[in-house]
Amino acid sequence: MNFTDQLVQWYLANKRDLPWRNTTDAYTIWLSEIILQQTRVEQGMPYFYRFLERYPTVTDFAAAQEDEVLKLWQGLGYYSRGRNMLKTAQLVQQQYDGVFPQSYEALIKLKGIGEYTAAAIASFSANEAKAVVDGNVYRVLARYYGIYEPINSTTGKKLFQQIADDLINKKTPGLHNQAMMEFGAMLCKPKNPACNICPVQIDCVAFKAGATSALPVKLKTVKVKERFFNYFLITDGNTILMNKRGDKDIWANMYDLPMVETPALLPAHELMAQPAVMAVFGQIPNITEDTPVQKHILTHQRLFVRMIKTDTLPIKLHENWLYIPLENLPDLALPKIIFILIKNIFNL
C-alpha cells in the first residue's frame, strides 16, 4: 500500500465528524474554509454554526450589512476575512444568481479565495482533482520526504505544490485532500507528533533521521511592529463616545474608543500633556481611572493597550467620533480587546 493510500485508510478510521464534511454544498464548505483560516477547529466551530444559522444561503449573506458581519466575526481576528466574505457573497449573488460556484477556475476569481481555498472547495464539493496545500500538508510532505526547502520561499511553494499535484488521487481527490489535511492536524502535529502510532513512520525521512522538530523549514521574514494605543473612555452614564475606524489600518470599519497612539508607553501625566491630547480636550484631562496596560498580539503587530477614564469632555470631536447609547454597545462590531475592556467596566 502506497503512502497516500495509507493516509486515506488512517483517515477513514480516525477522522473527526465535522459538519462541513457531511455536505457537498460549496457555500457551506466555503464558510468553513474561510472561518478556519488561521483558526483552530475548536475555536471556529461556534462561528461556523452562527454564520450558517444567520445566513443559511449565499443570498442571505449577500443581503447582510458589514457591521452585522463584523459583529458575528468578533473574536476571530483577521477581520478582513469577514469583510471579504461579504464582498464574495454579493459577487456570487450578482454574477451566479446566488449559486455558489464549484469549479477552481471560477472560485479563484472571487474575493478572499486563494489557491488553497479554491482547491479545497472544488475538490470537496465537485471532486475536482486539485491538490490542497495548507500548513498541515506542508508539514506532512516536508517530514515524510525530508524536504528542507523553506515552505514560504518561492521555490518551496512550487516544489510542495508539484509534489501534492503528483500525489493526488484523481478518482477521489476530495477524500485524498481531507486525509492529507486531517493527518497533519491530528497525527503529524507541529509539536509532539504522534510518531509512535504513525502508519507511515517506517518510510518517513524525518522520523528516521530524528528531524521531525526541524521540519518544515520556514523563513523568518516578518518583523513584528510594536504599537502603543491609549484609549479614552468618555461617558455620562447613558452614552459613550466611540470611534468608527477607517479602512486603512487594523480593525477596518469597526468601532473602538477615541485613541491617541504614541511611539512608546508613556506615564499617564506625560501622556495627558501630549499635543494630540491637548488638541482634543483643550486642557490636561482629569483622570478618574487608568487601566493596566494589556498586550494584544496580532500577526505582524504587538499592541500595548490601556484605557483611561476621564470626566473631562473633549472640546473637539474627530469626524469619526459619535456618542452611542450604552444599551447599543452589544450590537457594535468591536475588536476583541476593546470589547473585553468595555465589558469589564459596564458588566455587559
Mean pLDDT of residues grouped by 10 in the chain (348 residues)? Answer: 90 91 93 89 92 95 92 84 92 93 93 91 94 93 94 92 92 93 93 92 92 90 86 89 89 91 88 87 86 85 91 84 89 88 74
Q: Which residues of 68-87 are buried (b: 16+ CB within 10 A; e: fewer)?
A: bbbbbbbebbebebbbbbbe
Task: Supply angle C-alpha 311, 315, 316, rounded to 5.
Answer: 125
Judge if the upstream peptide bond of residue 216 is cis by omega within 30 degrees of 0.
yes
Q: Domain limits of the chain? A: 12-130, 132-221, 225-346
Give pLDDT, residue 347.
67
Nearest to 206 by CA among 141, 161, 158, 159: 141
Give pLDDT, residue 348.
57
Give pLDDT, residue 253.
87
Among 33, 42, 68, 270, the active-site one is: 33
Give pLDDT, residue 339.
87
- According to CATH, the topology of domain 132-221 is Endonuclease Iii, domain 2 (1.10.1670)
Distances (CA, A) of 229 to 78, 120, 262: 19, 39, 7
Measure the CA–CA gap between 130 and 271, rounded to whole angstroms: 55
pTM, to two decimals: 0.78
User: Is residue 82 within 8 Å of residue 336, measured between CB atoms?
Assistant: no
Location of C-alpha cell 458575528: 72
User: Is residue 84 within 8 Å of residue 104, measured between CB atoms?
Assistant: no
Half-sphere exposure at residue 187, Cβ-oriented, CA atoms within 13 angstroms: 23
Give pLDDT, residue 188.
95
Known catalytic membership, residue 327: no
CATH superfamily of 225-346: Nucleoside Triphosphate Pyrophosphohydrolase (3.90.79.10)
Provide the residue count of the chain.
348
CATH superfamily of 12-130: Hypothetical protein; domain 2 (1.10.340.30)
Give pLDDT, residue 38.
79
Give pLDDT, residue 298.
84
